[in-house]
Amino acid sequence: MKRTFLGTIFTLTFCLFTTIGFSQSKEIKIEFLGNCGLYLTDGTTNIYTDFPYKSGGHGYMEFDESELDSIKENSIFIFTHKHSDHYSDKNIKKVIKEKGGKKYGSWNIEELKNLEKSVPNFSIQVFKTKHKWSSKHYSYLITWHNKKIFLSGDTESAETIGTIKNIDWAFVPYWILLDAKENDIKIDSKMFGVYHLATVQIPSAKENYEEIENIKPIIIQGEIITIELKTE
Ligand SMILES: [Zn+2]
């Protein structure tokens, strides 16, 4: 009888701790969805960047229709630009109609600043960056739970990212690394997630940028990067 009682107490305590453990945010999870498409979450807020795009747009990565179904309700969608391998009007309209949420990009860039009022421990800096065939391209620096995450998008130049200090994770296409090398630009980032075309291009990028050992090619759709947060 006594043993059962203690057992119950133990189980309850264990469950309580487990529940508390899960409800506190201890990490930011970033899932690769394809091209520059990422899903970022701290367990409370859900952010999609350059997703949903048009599956197979410009001949780049496709994704399964079920990816759209698995998008979380009331998410934040942030786009670097409107090329079809980054953005789909049809898909984003459908998702927002079904699940709510809000999309951000060149058309309402000023409104992005308001996110820091509604998203805890979050702020975003906006950089107008150059991209061929797009007059409205933006890169972003997200600061979330004191972690700095840079989203480069399609811009060809490392000039902007080269001005930012203490980045934790820089999501860049391989050509940013090559541009930085060629123009002697130092990028101050602990980690590099190389997205968009990483499959083909990463070996040459590494070869040409040998001093960077902290490069993670992001190739497989569904793969997850975890950023550990300090627990207080
Ligand atoms: Zn583009």
Ligand 1 centroid to Cα of residue 159, in Å, is 18
pLDDT at position 4 is 59
Cα–ligand 1 centroid distance for 89 (angstroms): 15
Which runs of consecutive H residues, i.e. helices, occur in the chain? 2-23, 65-69, 89-99, 115-118, 174-182, 198-208
- On whether residue 11 sits in a domain, the answer given is no
Contact 195, 30 (CB under 8 A): no
**Could you report the per-residue pLDDT of 104-149, keeping only the tens digit for each?**
999 999 999 999 999 999 999 999 999 998 889 999 999 999 999 9
Measure 97 CA to ligand 1 centroid, in angstroms: 26
* Stated pTM of the model: 0.85
For strands 122-128 and 102-104, give the pairing: unpaired
Task: Note whether residue 186 is domain-resident.
Answer: yes
Give the residue-averaged pLDDT of 168-193. 94
Q: Is residue 22 part of a domain?
A: no
- Give one DSSP letter per residue of 113-156, joined into a string: GGHHHHSTTEEEEEEE--BTTBS--EEEEEEETTEEEEE-TT--
Q: Give residue 65's pLDDT.
A: 92
When divided into structural domains, the chain yields a total of 1
Question: Are the beta carbons of 26 and 232 closer than 8 angstroms?
Answer: no
Residue whose structure tokens are 């960056």? 129
* Residue 14 counted as domain residue: no
Tens of pLDDT, residue by residue over 29-79, are 999 999 999 999 999 999 999 999 999 998 889 999 999 999 999 999 999
Q: Is residue 150 part of a domain?
A: yes
- Could you tell me the distance, in angstroms and rounded to a whole number, from the CA of residue 154 to the centre of ligand 1? 5
- Quick check: is 7 in a domain? no
Q: Is residue 23 in a domain? A: no
- Ligand 1 centre from 131 Cα, in Å? 7
Ligand 1 geometric centre to CA of 32 (Å): 18
Position 162 scores a pLDDT of 97
* Residues spanned by the domain of 170: 29-228
User: Which amino acid makes up residue 91?
Assistant: N
122 inside domain: yes
The CATH number covering residue 133 comes to 3.60.15.10
